[in-house]
Structure 1
């Protein structure tokens, strides 16, 4: 690439969507210079992304789980929320990373991402940028569409909205079965209308444990219509749960709900694992002294299975599960498309405030 092109790239203006880390409802678009590309680097232009409650969880757990560190903001007290989607290479000084090629992966709420690709092959690459070296490795992987076993060109919207969530669903289901349900006869999933929860329920059906979904009363009918759960209850009706060994997969992070379950089930609550915090207020560690709530972190189970199956084996099993799930999930979501950074800002405010209907899936194109 000649000097003229480099100078033009560096002079171009992009944008970031900044979120106030102490008040996630505050969002602001800011101009940002497009980075200059040096040897060993590639520049991706963010093409299209999804925004779900999962991204709000990244922000809510941004400090404790280091999500803010993936795409550092230049302004103190603000953060750039990670999103999942597709990006196109617009400039590259790395062998095997070609301009015009398209990748799926973890992207900033921004116009561009500068990466330092490592382990480049026909499947994609890992970002080896120094600030990402100590961060969870699965988030640093970028899949080339032409080498991705799970990629389907006619289901890109579905992949954007569901695939990162379905990885968590897939690994959670695998972890539960791998650990013999931790001795439970019933598995209770809160926020049962959420994509991650019902993805896990889809995979766990008929695998040796009753699957009960808990949701708000207004979402009971939708959640029942999915057909993923053996039983669906409104949060107020947890007293209808049978007194039998029960595992609580907590997608809500609602301390009052946890207390209600604990009071009703007592010693029958054999395990409590936190998977998400859709109410954005995680309960304190130690809420359940005997069961000891722990945070389920999908990359931990991914590392275990990569060691046992190899990365190719894990990818193949995930692709098989995805290809079973995707055709069914298409009937469960109404994709709403937005255009441009202003639309992303509006969608963030809607999703962060909890106003999005369970059937709605937001995809923003740039």
Structure 2
């Protein structure tokens, strides 16, 4: 391999990958080259790939026709800069491709970071275009980079979802049910909702039940074949699995008691159609829209303060819930992607790759 590479994922079959040599980017006026340094790979990245066309995730990092570069969250270092206010050696946290390097065009450069103003990203969600300088992030801790790449993007979604549900979005439900309860996004949400007005129930596989129960953030844990044990009361369902068969059984059991069916993500690749069986019509939860609305409501400083406080409470628990598995280089990234995309990663496993 040369110093630059791309791990390409087939947009038709995300388990098919190809590792290719790439040209090292050369920055033009106003541009910066980032070298990807550390990134996490979780089921969240599978969601980005599965919904790559629907929610335009493939458009963030263009690739040859039929291929995509999966968005990852992680850290990168500035290795070349021709942009005012951005200097070589700075370290940033943000949205990165399955590649060795990323060319960005910084705007709104300040002590906290910058946004990528590359033309192809201008119509995409602004949440994903921000790059935070580690020197300007009060919550940054170099010793906790692994936890940040594994949890911070997922926890931000959990935070937005929990805020939405706790402040009226649950439509008066007395029970909130989360599928794929062993996933980091689901149990981050449960952690934030636990002890609130609604009872929090986790749905999981038989094999993951003990892990989910040990988390201590669900009031009750049921396996997928125990859906009929849910009480017939106003219930909000957060679908973090994308399993159409499960949705149908849950709708059939709860019927008019199902007041909310919110599609959070997809960990099953064969999701089928989110059709109404009985009860509430399925709707897609898109965290960037909620983050935008909350930022308007609370102000940027208010949003970051609330999120930072929640993150500070979550991190000590999260350290107990994950076994970080470290890998290095693009070949290991390809192996990890194959494992996670196929759903073979254990719930306690957190894959972190360095380059």
Q: Partner of 1:200 in structure 2? A: 189
Q: Note if contact 1:149-1:316 (Cα within 8 Å) is conserved in structure 2.
A: no
The equivalent of 1:65 in structure 2 is 55
Which residue number in structure 1 is paired with residue 345 of structure 2? 356
> Residue 329 of structure 1 is aligned with which of 309, 318, 323?
318
From 286, 295, 299, the counterpart of 1:306: 295
- Find the counterpart in structure 2 of residue 112 from structure 1: 101
- The residue that corresponds to 1:144 in the other structure is 133
Aligned twin of 1:344: 333
2:20 paired residue number: 30
Q: Deviations over 1:68-104 (max 9, x none)?
A: 000000x210110000000000011112111000000
Deviation at 1:312, TM superposition (A): 1.6
Segments of structure 2 that go 5 or more residues without pairing to the other structure are none
| Contact map agreement 1:246 1:269 (CA 8 A) in 2 | yes
CA distance in 2, matches of 1:149, 1:239: 46
Across the aligned residues of Structure 1 and Structure 2, the Cα RMSD in angstroms comes to 1.1
Look up the SS of the partner of 1:68 in the other structure: helix
Aligned counterparts of 2:131 and 2:62: Cα–Cα separation in 1: 19
* 2:340 counterpart SS class: helix
Contact 2:260 2:281 in 1 (8 A): yes
Q: Which residue number in structure 1 is paired with residue 262 of structure 2? A: 273
Cα contact 2:106–2:115 (8 A) shared by 1: yes
Q: Does 2:150 align with 1:161?
A: yes
Q: Does the Cα contact within 8 Å between 1:149 and 1:315 map onto a contact in 2?
A: no
Query: What residue in structure 2 maps to residue 215 of structure 1?
Result: 204
SS at match of 2:62: coil
Once the 2 structures are TM-superposed, how far is the Cα of residue 177 of structure 1 from its aligned partner?
1.2
TM-score, normalised to structure 2, is 0.98
Matched residue count: 354
After TM superposition, the runs of 4+ consecutive aligned structure 1 residues lying more than 6 A away are none
Contact 2:191 2:217 in 1 (8 A): yes
Q: 1:61: how far off?
A: 0.2
Change (3 A) 1:342 1:180: closer
**Whole-angstrom distance in 2 between the partners of 1:64 and 1:138:** 17
- The 3-state SS of whatever aligns with 1:154 is helix
* DSSP 3-state at the match of 2:170: helix
Q: Distance in 2 between matches of 1:89 and 1:289?
A: 52
Contact 1:253–1:274 (Cα < 8 Å) also in 2: yes
Q: Which moved more, 1:225-234 or 1:260-269?
A: 260-269
**Which residue matches 1:56?**
46
| Match status 1:78 vs 2:87 | no
Partner of 2:29: 39
The 2-side partners of 1:102 and 1:82 are apart by 18
Deviations 1:162-205 (A, max 9, x none): 00100110000011112252120000000000000000000001
SS in structure 1 of the partner of residue 276 of structure 2: coil
- Residue 264 (structure 1) aligned with residue 253 (structure 2): yes
For residues 149 and 293 of structure 1, the distance between their equivalents in structure 2, rounded to whole angstroms, comes to 38
* Contact 1:49–1:365 under 8 Å retained in 2: yes
Give the superposition deviation at 1:206.
1.1
The CA deviation at 1:285 is: 3.9
Report the Cα distance in structure 2 between the residues aligned to 1:205 and 1:150, rounded to whole angstroms: 24
Per-residue CA distance 1:208-238 (angstroms, 9 max, x = gap): 0000000001100000000010000000011
Q: What TM-score, normalized to structure 1?
A: 0.95
Distance 1:187 1:308 in 2: 25
Structure 1 contact 190–249 (Cα < 8 Å) conserved:
yes
1:180-259 to structure 2, matched below 5 A, reads 181-259=170-248
Say if 2:251 and 2:279, in contact at 8 Å, map to a contact too: no
